[in-house]
Structure 1
């Protein structure tokens, strides 16, 4: 068969397909491969990029400058257009810094994008930076009707997108092991092997509506082509939404326990594995991923976490994309009409002040901050209304000072002491600075109480688990080492049977069934691949276990021995496949033609040679 030679670098292509709506760059190249008539995917890769070893992806590809440089003259597209319209980089861009955006664009334009996902924070995000291939069956039919063939849509490849944003149906996902084996191949949703290894994603009914909304929001972010959004702006939006749900104090500080409970209830039905594994509650029982978005940003965060938090807070992501964040509206400004030398507050201010002092139990200073008035004005108005305003002495007289010094020599929290004795926390801190002996005595009492609590907790825990694994071990090692050593030496260890022991019998049966299943899949691939223990292990994603522990898996070993093939059997299958491929073009092929298509150099005089002679004789007999 004719072999297409690679174009000289710098030579322009004669044609290149016009891009379709929301088409990925991988899909463009795969369609070009089909239209070009090249016999092998490697010929197309060498033609476009100068080498056949490049891995083209639908997500964050590299060598974009090389591709643009070889496109036909006059084609209205450049590297930035490809990045914006045919990759999923615009989905991540709003949540990156300007420096990360510049480095990301440069990496995709260069010959290698190694380290790009690490630099963007995808590897450390717990969401993952894989390259899934998904398609919608209804979109495929629609594309075939409108454009003549289905293609890969960018929006279907976004993280956690399992439902089509347009049709609301579950997507089909290509088996990851198949994609890994064919990472140098160019395929479309209609490729036979793709259809054989595609399965529809299972989605619980309770999650279908939410997953559909996530798909729509993800598509909106992708199409908006936004630049970097300030983390401060996003944090302000989330805090405003939390405030609307009464999840913050009046001062704006977050009510962490209440906020945590709210978020955990919202995501209770989500899986805690795979893409959503970051939602699993930490040891503290708090959604740290959500709390981190409401704190000062110290690193880039995956877009999926922002979309999930926005959903949990009943927000609308479209408002972020269409307009800049505006601070919450302040409380209505009250009008004070002057009828004498002193200003007289309006009835609106009076009602607001009464509500804050009587119902909300706010301090006068706090009311002044919220209402935009002075403390003196509000004190006069409170007196006029007959409201009781607790007065705090501006100076600490000797009896009061002696009283506070006495109560400070305890472990009672300062907030509680301030409320009991009608003073401020600031005044209590001032006393502790004025009298170091009181501060030292208080610290000793607090340290003794903490030591007592930690000792008790550690004594109970070390009977059930290793001492070094307990949370109090480090503190006791630093502050109470002698007691720690004595306790560890004298505490009897409770012998427990680990719940994580492996049931090798069950694993053996499961692996044996998996070997049978994956070997059938490998034999069913249109272009034969060599079915070996290694290839079956890669397909199962259990190659390491099969290599290390096969002696413990007798049923699995037997299944492998039954299903793997020798090199001669594999070569025979390749020749039979090659005979079918060449039959239409050359009814009476010569031996070298079959050998070339099958990828064989020399077959010797054994079994493979006999199969080759048989295929040649049968082909010539059919012609005669």
Structure 2
């Protein structure tokens, strides 16, 4: 079917309705043309027989435009992305490079891993939105169009009310719970509105999400977006004076109060997750801008700082102009990146000696120590104003680092902190020059340790040596694998031979123990039925049971001593008669039946009970008779 359709035109091509999802339009296309062969339809539309239709971010758009041709409601994949998917909602919170990767996947790929790249799975808010609809929108659609459809604004992440009417959305289906996930689900008309009060914050968040979808903002560099957040926070007084650092605990309390502890959203627990004073997403959003954070978190911060998407877009544009005026094109997280980025362009702010380290730290929202490290890496002269960390002590720490000593031991021997050793290592230690020498020293030490352990435990095999020197094995496996393999090939575990079992001797001993065990069970005052399982349990349990084939006499004796159900019932009748006789009561049949405790009385048991009652011998004689049955 997929090979026959590209040259054929479909009889009915529906129009793409305002704010309609591409998923909804394709579903109406399939229904209007009665395309029941689902896998063939999927293959024709997307070029992949096993593709899963995506509600909000449909892939394979280039193939879709090719097969539809002039029948397509839009002429290009970019038009589909802008008009009928939720990607414009996510784009302002992505970097330009990630934006290019996402658009390429939407056009050519199957959207596998797409939502991970975009941050939709971050913070565990859920990646697939439910299919939901506004009851009033559905009524208006049925009145004007005769049908209803899925709208983009109803499927924005975290939105649970209609931005137009302000009423709660009705969830009609969840794609993740549908058995056939290749099926296109269309909305049902005549939806009853959800009887739930929608608060002001819930409606405000829905309008904010709708604004960012319709604004179609371009991708923004993460550091530029972070700078816009910082400037807005500084204007509100949430940055501490030293280094422009944020008071995260106080800001978290303010956001919780502003949004009423997020009682209006289903993601409340995820938003409040973190330590006792700071919400985790807030610290990640402002301290690690390159890490993916869900758009819901961005919108919450934007709603608090800017109140609207238009104000946020204006702040981004102003901040972009300010960045270009300062000639700051990048912010580097470590010294190696500083060398690469600042070494070739003397006009960058790092090399601008007119700016002090403290002023530059305030400008870039970094600590003074970080700026000093970057400038040293870029070769910018810095005045040394040390009080007790003298140049001699710094050189001593560097010599210890070159010698391969660990940071903890260096800190203890030179009376400095471990963080100081780490800063000196980052600023002064020439890794390219000294790393091969240190690696060779460590290799010699690890090899010597492995050989010492091997010489002591050679008969235990590789596993025994690994248990004793696990860290050494891991280091050698990572840095000296070929040598380690050559050494482990000669290590062979010598299996321990178990002595052969003399089954005749063991059987004789078990037979004696069996007689003692049987006597103990048979002479008990109120005993249970003597079975093979109970006898074997007294001899050793499963260890004896699995070897009964090697001990035929024991197996035969167990079969002789095992008590059948009928024999045990007869024993209970004898025991009941003895108790009644001892108590001086008449041995009527009904008394014997009650005292014996047997539920089902067969005719044979009744005859046996009558015989015992009529011809009962003395109690001790009858017990001796019972014991003789098993010998």
TM-score normalised to structure 1 length: 0.49
TM-score normalised to structure 2 length: 0.48
Q: Between the two structures, name the one with larger relative contact order (CA 8 Å, sep ≥ 6).
A: 1
